[in-house]
Amino acid sequence: MTEPKTLIIWDFDGVIADSEHLWVQNWIDCLRLFFGLELSEEQVEYYIRGKSNKTKVELLCKDFPHLKFDDAFWDKLRENTIRLIAAELTLTPGVEPIFENRRFAHCIATGATERKNTLKVEKLRLDKYFSADNMFTAYAVEKGKPAPDLFLYAAKKMGYTPENCVVIEDSLAGITAGVAAKMAVIAYIGATGNNSDEYAEKCRSAGATHITRTMPEVAAVLHEFYE
């Protein structure tokens, strides 16, 4: 079989699994517990959603310089994360048939740490599709989403140019990053908290080329425009 001409770059949380809301709530709970910090929905979108931990910290510390992210904070965040992965992480229905489509190359580009990403892949038994060779985290680059660095890094490592890449993202930060990388971006809005006409319009405004609510819809877009 010839080398696929198109690389699909998958975000994980909110796309492969309906999990972004779990990690967002974890951060909200820990910020409240340790610092008494209450964020508005607009602040959650700006500081938390769709961003790596290091980007979250950079943004928060810039505007809230009194915050001190010590070992106790990170231990609690990790404790909650491990519990949530074990108890609540589930695969998005219909995503595996797309992974199995060998007309495309596939990789993951996520804001999660390598350890967290590995735990999620193991829990969902996705190691038959993804390994260290095609999983990339924001910790490999200087700037995470909404900067394009991670997507450009993943494409280079996989041997593809941006014009031959399709990003599948749920967050506005991720969509912005994909557009900045000059890649096509499919917005997947089927995850908890995203499936609304208002959010679809935000994704369009951010530059998504297509809006989808189910994985069969994602597969149809890929078949029509990129196979």
Last residue of a domain, one of 35, 65, 88: 88
pLDDT for residue 1: 58
**C-alpha span between 132 and 129 (Å, rounded):** 11
Over the stretch 47-104, which tens digit does the pLDDT of each residue have? 999 999 999 999 999 999 999 999 999 999 999 999 999 999 999 999 999 999 999 9
Structural domain contains residue 1: no
CA atoms within 13 A on the CB side of 21: 10
Measuring CA to CA, which residue among 52, 65, 40, 43 is closest to residue 147?
A: 52
Same domain for 101 and 178, yes or no, is yes
Residue 97: asked if its preceding bond is cis (omega within 30°), the reply is: no
* The pTM of the whole model exceeds 0.85: yes
Checking DSSP bridges between strand 104-110 and strand 6-10, what pairing results, if any?
parallel
For residue 145, give its domain range.
6-18+90-225
